[in-house]
Amino acid sequence: MKEFKITSYALARSFLALGAIITLLGSGKSVLFDKHYFDVQKPLLKWNFFHLFGYENTNWSIGIASLILFCVIIGIYPRIIGIFQWWISISIFHIVTLSEGGDQIAVILTFLLIPLTLYDKRRNHWFGSYNPSKYTVGRIVLLLISIQMSVLYFDAAIGKFGEPEWANGTAFYYWATNNGFSEQGVLSLLLSKILVNKWIVAIFTWGAIFLELMLAMAIFIENKKTKMFFLIAGLAFHFTIIVIFGLISFFLAMAAGILLYLTPINQDLSLLWKQVFCSQSYNSQTIHNS
């Protein structure tokens, strides 16, 4: 039996699929879809996955889409399922009324992953070895993903300098305590107490900008340990956004992107962790490129 591997390629595809499932199943039909869109005959909507079924049958389209996305998560036949994952992602982005930044990132990543899935001959992306970087197309795709993530973080950081609240270091206070943005409850109450200190607010605000700039610059870093440090910092940063703002789908899309951006796509992440952080005692196993 082929060896089970947790690679960034498999995790990223699964995270993107899980984010889409949460979007589809986390809200009712009336919240997700505007009936007006189903009456509009535009080229982009004509081939939309949900538009094909019609508004009256959206429960069926949601169910079928979720089943396809579940197949992505469990990893079966990536060569076949990969393009369907992108089709569902772009359909969600164009027709769902609650579309947010994570949906757009998911569209880009699932599209870029199509060539990698087409070269993947395995029955399941969790088992066996697959190294898309040995193909010219694979190397180009991985470079494009890295550039995309680097530009995304750079644009996010630079764009904040144009906002007075980010420039003066108070933005995090307004975002974390505004009822329209943050999740309410004990955490919100706790934050409102902590964030009365202007220096703490400034550290959180400018720290977010600094981290985004560092993540943008990570495209030039080759050291595995440094990249893993930025990976952990980036995941923690985006997880904080879940805790405060409740944007689960956004976290999953960004987690997928940052995994593809900062880790070797074909290596078992558990072994990579040991190789990078336990190198002195980790001599029993070597990670091989397939």
The C-alpha angle 146, 150, 151, rounded to 5 degrees, equals: 120
Only one residue has tokens 């900008």, namely 209
Mean pLDDT of the chain: 85
pLDDT in tens, 118-131: 999 999 999 998 99
In this predicted structure, the answer to whether residue 97 has a pLDDT above a threshold of 70 is yes
| Residue 196 Cα distances to 61, 91, 125, 127, 199, angstroms | 48, 43, 48, 50, 9
- Give the length of the chain: 290
Supply 278's token pair.
């336990």
Q: What is the pLDDT of residues 101-155, one digit of tens each?
A: 788 999 999 999 999 999 999 999 999 989 998 899 999 999 999 999 999 999 9
Other Cβ atoms within 10 Å of 142 Cβ, number: 19
For residue 286, pLDDT beyond 60 = no
Q: What pLDDT, in 10s, does the model give residues 178-223?
A: 655 555 555 555 666 666 677 777 888 888 899 999 999 999 998 8
Q: Identify residue 277 by its one-letter amino acid code.
A: F
